[in-house]
Structure 1
Amino acid sequence: MAARLHAMTRLEPIRPEEQDAQQRDLHASITGGPRANGPQHFALTTPDGALRGPFNAFLLSPGLGGALERLGSAVRYTTSLSDRTRELAILAVAAHWSSAFEWEAHEAVGRAAGVTDAELDALRGGEVPTLGDQEEQAAAELVRCLLDGDVSDEEWGRWAEPLGDAVVFELCTLVGYYSTLALQMRVFRVG
């Protein structure tokens, strides 16, 4: 994955003491919600309590940021995707968009879900890794198609049909959500 380096962020951290009531409520829902439960594979906040990564930008518009937070939680915690399949997909999006924060955060989560060094190397290089599980392989191939912008009829028959419509919907939503975060972080120069 090629790193995009920017000299300066365009959005300074919004520290807890600077937040209005709506921002504090959203901050509390992010830091006290499902992302904060269980093992912590990446820090949600800086040492002074400001949100890291895309979550800081969510505070700019708490209504929309809250909707994105709920969508992200649903993508992470309520789909039928296995942890490995989900993390392989997220890492493919992170590599595609050169999203350093998403890569950092989800490399750790992916490793905890069993993603191997060889699989990480392939994803980092923009390739679909060779996977031992047919459903994981189909999902990874479908994610590559989605990142390229469409799924041909041949690809649909080969990758989407075996997964089923519900999984295809979940993967489309995952790719769209994490692509949105990658764009927001790129525009605000979040490293």
Structure 2
Amino acid sequence: MTDRLPSLSPDQWTDAQREAAAAIVNGPRGALYGPFVPLLHSPELMGHAQRLGEYLRYRSAIGTRLTELAILVTARAWNQQVEWAIHAPIAQQAGIAPAVIEAIAQRRQPQGMPADEAAVHDFCIELQRDKRVSDRVYGAALALFGEQGVVDLMGVNGYYTFLAMVMNAAQTAVPASSAAPLPE
């Protein structure tokens, strides 16, 4: 598979691309990688996307551990190898059990999750699979995370779906990772 929107050399960047890249490199991500490689071809879109992603990934109302879990469910739903390679190790470092990560990779229901993880997992599975969330699953998430948490959880799903679409269409190269690739 050929990377359709490969990395541009910094000497090829426009001023807008330089500015957009600097915002990412100087922010919490610290480097231009993953979805931002193809997005750099549209620097204004990349700038808006990176600000949304920075909030959702680093400051969402559900916290880092649960955000990383939601990212993994979304990556699996979209067969997105780049997001999986980046976020499976981060999820484990944030406290998601390796058995839960493996179950998601295998499209199996994880066993033994804490209630907050089960609520996030079920919410994301229903939203990605059914394109809606049942009253029972919504109510469980609302009880645990409140309205802002539920909205942020929806935002994580939408944002990482957007990134998956970009990288799947661009055929973005998968970085080296300690995570095993998603099975087909």
TM-score by length of 1: 0.83
Q: Structure 2 unaligned runs (5+)?
A: 174-184
Give the alignment partner of residue 78 of structure 2, picking from 78, 81, 97. Answer: 97
Q: For residue 20 of structure 1, what is the aligned residue in structure 2?
A: 14
Residues 84, 110 of structure 1: 8 Å contact kept? yes
**Bigger relative contact order, structure 1 or 2 (CA pairs below 8 A, ≥6 apart):** 2
Aligned sequence identity (%): 33
- SS of the aligned residue for 2:29 comes to helix
TM-score by length of 2: 0.86
Residues 128, 144 of structure 1: 8 Å contact kept? no
Across the two proteins, how many residue pairs are aligned to each other? 172
Q: Structure 1 unaligned runs (5+)?
A: 1-6, 37-43, 45-50
Q: CA deviation digits over 1:5-48, x for unaligned, max 9?
A: xx211112112111011101111111110112xxxxxxx4xxxx
Q: How does 1:26-41 map to 2 (within 5 A)?
A: 26-36=20-30
Q: What amino acid is aligned across from residue 170 of structure 1 in structure 2?
A: D
Structure 1 residue 131: deviation in Å?
4.3
RMSD of equivalent CA atoms: 1.6
Q: For residue 47 of structure 1, what is the aligned residue in structure 2?
A: none
Q: For residue 4 of structure 1, what is the aligned residue in structure 2?
A: none
How far apart are the structure 2 equivalents of 1:180 and 1:22? Answer: 22
Structure 1 residue 161: deviation in Å?
4.1
> Is 1:106 matched up with 2:87?
yes
Q: For residue 164 of structure 1, what is the aligned residue in structure 2?
A: 146
How far apart are the structure 2 equivalents of 1:10 and 1:76? Answer: 26
> Is 1:182 matched up with 2:164?
yes
Give the alignment partner of residue 115 of structure 2, picking from 134, 138, 141. Answer: 134
Structure 1 residue 117: deviation in Å?
1.7
Residues 104, 110 of structure 2: 8 Å contact kept? yes
